[in-house]
Amino acid sequence: MSLQTTRVFPILLTLVLGVAGTPSTDETAAREWLEWYNTRAQDVYYKSSTASWAYNTNITDETQQRQVEVSLETSQFIKEVAQNATALWDWSGMSFDTKRKFDSITNIGSAALQNQTKLERLTNVQSEMRRIYSTAKVCENVDGQENCMVFEPDLTRELATGRDYNRLQFIWDGWRASVGPQLRSLYQEFVDLSNEAAVANGFDNTGASWRSWYEVDTFEQDLENIYEELKPLYLNLHAYVRRKLSETYGNRVSLTDPIPAHLFGNMWSQQWNNIFDLVEPYPNKPGGIDVTPKMVEQNYNATHMFRVSEEFFTSLGLGAMPDTFWERSMIVRPTDGRDVVCYASAWDFSRDRDFRIKQCTDVTMEDLLTVHHEMGHIQYYIQYADQPLIYRGGANPGFHEAVGDVLALSVATPKHLNQIGLLDEVTEDPDADINFLMATALEKIAFLPFGYLIDQWRWRVFDGSTGPDNYNAEWWRLRTKYQGIKPPSTRDETLFDPGCKFHIPNNTPYIRYFVSFVIQFQFHEALCREAGHTGPLHTCDIYRSTAAGDKLKAMLQMGTSKPWPEAMEAITGQRSMTASSLLKYFQPLTDWLKQKNWENREKLGWDAETWEDAKDPAASFASAVQATLPVMLLALMAAIFFRC
């Protein structure tokens, strides 16, 4: 799109108003200009999404170059519109709605870079980081032949199902060696350019810009308060899991140290549900449900998994997927050998109700829940599709992530899995409930410190308190501090372990997931109340409740048209985030964990402040014996004395 084309309307409008060079306060004319912008922007963003989709579903030099070109065109449009808006309009005295739209238009992200060469370099750096991550492989020699494994499904499957300590470490180390070193210098360059763009937008740095999306001055303190409220539950879960892993791996897992990071069934130790079989509270009872075998037995495929998810939404009275969704989505890894970005994502193409999902779906229960998560994004798109483009977004970034997950809380219940034919019977048994809650906690509670720390790391990088010489050390300090994990091998600053998580090279803010994992339980409790549920919160399934669907729909349709506390109030009756619903959901498991850990005299937490402080398990045992020997001798002497 040429600059001349994008400027046509502003120039004509300025002539009509007769106030060239003087910003107008005419709100009626300003609204007409905003309508013009809405039409033009839909075309621009559709073109941008199309180029990005082509690259993500077929990574080649050509599609990468085309994506970069269109991204630069889009940035130019965004910059030009912001300049025109500021030159033409003084919206300070206009209505809340009009001011909100102009404020959004003039906060233009990386497009604010005035130097075109720098903008082009930033765009190319981001594209190159995504390419490195998405095409990385871990290779090994098998019987004289090189065998190379892609991240999904090869590496994810091995980590999920493997139980050999050394093999898991090979996979863990191999992925980080393949990705991190290539990204390190690129990321450093990205930080500098991104910060320069943030300053041009009026922020101190990129982290400050991201936090502004939450429209709350106390956002960081609010998060810290919530984390501290949830910390005791995490520490109890961590201590219980650590003992169980010690029973499996022996003295390689100390009962007082951080846990080696490669033993959780997940590349980043962010969710632990894949090791449920190692930590199951009551192995002879149901509750820790994995319906993957049942899905395979019933010949599930990716399309059927998405249809099952769609039917959940329509049972609530929400919208079905448009035909174009089924025609244009990529829901399995292509079989023609193309390199693709397999990380699951939902796409809104900004016009023509063109919504798609990109996911290399595997027939597993874990992916069934991921499908519901991504379909939640699509449902949000559908519900706010009639809003102006400016308002087509989540009330805050965490809202968008929470919608699919709140449905998954119902989908994962034994009651629901029984209703859709994936579970033969539902057993009412307190032990089975603990199994179910443990399985859910391994996904939800285990995630909380990880969801919290990623942007703690990035905010420090963006504000300069963590420099390039300390990237990896600070990453592992935070992971040890918050998660209580340690790397299974030596790390140094030639590596770049943060870059081995998709959201870092893709520049996707992550605190939204922490927010989501808290507020989804607020949503869940409110929707369960609307559905007339009685009984423990963890047994609620809102399937087929149109009353719950109406409550959810009212919030979704608002998009970003109102500050998020108003959207929160629309669905929950509350105006703030709170952990109370989450704690209520897991209360039976919390009580059980506390009892078990007390019985085992379990240490809550870990001695190490950084992973380098973590002791060798054998040395830790010897040190513990040495430290307690005088006490043991005194006790023995006292016993002899009193017996005499």
Q: Note the pLDDT tens digit of each residue in 595-614.
A: 999 999 999 999 877 777 76
Q: Which amino acid would we find at residue 195?
A: N
Give the strand pairing for 145-150 and 355-358.
Answer: unpaired
Q: Check if the beta carbon of residue 305 is closer than 8 Å to that of residue 367.
A: yes
Rounded Cα distance, 399 and 316, in Å = 19
374 is catalytic: yes
Rounded Cα distance, 558 and 380, in Å = 10
Q: Check if the beta carbon of residue 326 is closer than 8 Å to that of residue 357.
A: no
Rounded Cα distance, 190 and 14, in Å = 38
Give the active site residue among 27, 280, 304, 503.
503
Rounded Cα distance, 276 and 435, in Å = 9
Q: Strand, coil or helix: what is 81? A: helix
Per the structure block, which two tokens stand in for 474? 């600070």
**What percentage of the chain has pLDDT greater than the value 70?**
92
Rounded Cα distance, 282 and 568, in Å = 38
The residue among 323, 412, 337, 317 whose CA lies nearest residue 371 is: 412
pLDDT at 607: 86
Summarised one tens digit per residue, pLDDT across range 83-96 is 999 999 999 999 99
* Confidence category of residue 558, pLDDT binned at 50, 70, 90: very high
Summarised one tens digit per residue, pLDDT across range 167-178 is 999 999 999 999
Q: Which of 25-39, 329-343, 499-513, 627-641 has the lowest mean pLDDT?
A: 627-641
For 458-467, b where at least 16 C-beta lie within 10 A, e where not — what string? bbbbbeeebe
Rounded Cα distance, 231 and 449, in Å = 8
Binding residues for chloride, by number, are 214, 512
What is the pLDDT averaged over residues 300-323? 97
Per the structure block, which two tokens stand in for 307? 């249809």
Question: Whole-model pTM?
Answer: 0.90
Rounded Cα distance, 176 and 500, in Å = 6
The residue among 503, 554, 2 whose CA lies nearest residue 270 is: 503
Q: Strand, coil or helix: what is 556? A: helix
Give the strand pairing for 145-150 and 137-142.
Answer: antiparallel
Per the structure block, which two tokens stand in for 160? 């999920």
Q: What is the CA radius of gyration of the chain?
A: 26
Identify the DSSP state of 348.
E
Summarised one tens digit per residue, pLDDT across range 413-465 is 999 999 999 999 888 889 999 999 999 999 999 999 999 999 999 999 999 99
Could you list the beta-strand ranges (E) of 349-499. 355-358, 485-486
Measured in degrees and rounded to the nearest 5, phi and psi for residue 108 equal -110, 15
Summarised one tens digit per residue, pLDDT across range 225-254 is 999 999 999 999 999 999 999 999 999 999
Rounded Cα distance, 623 and 251, in Å = 14
Binding residues, by number, are 214, 373, 377, 401, 512
Binding residues for Zn(2+), by number, are 373, 377, 401
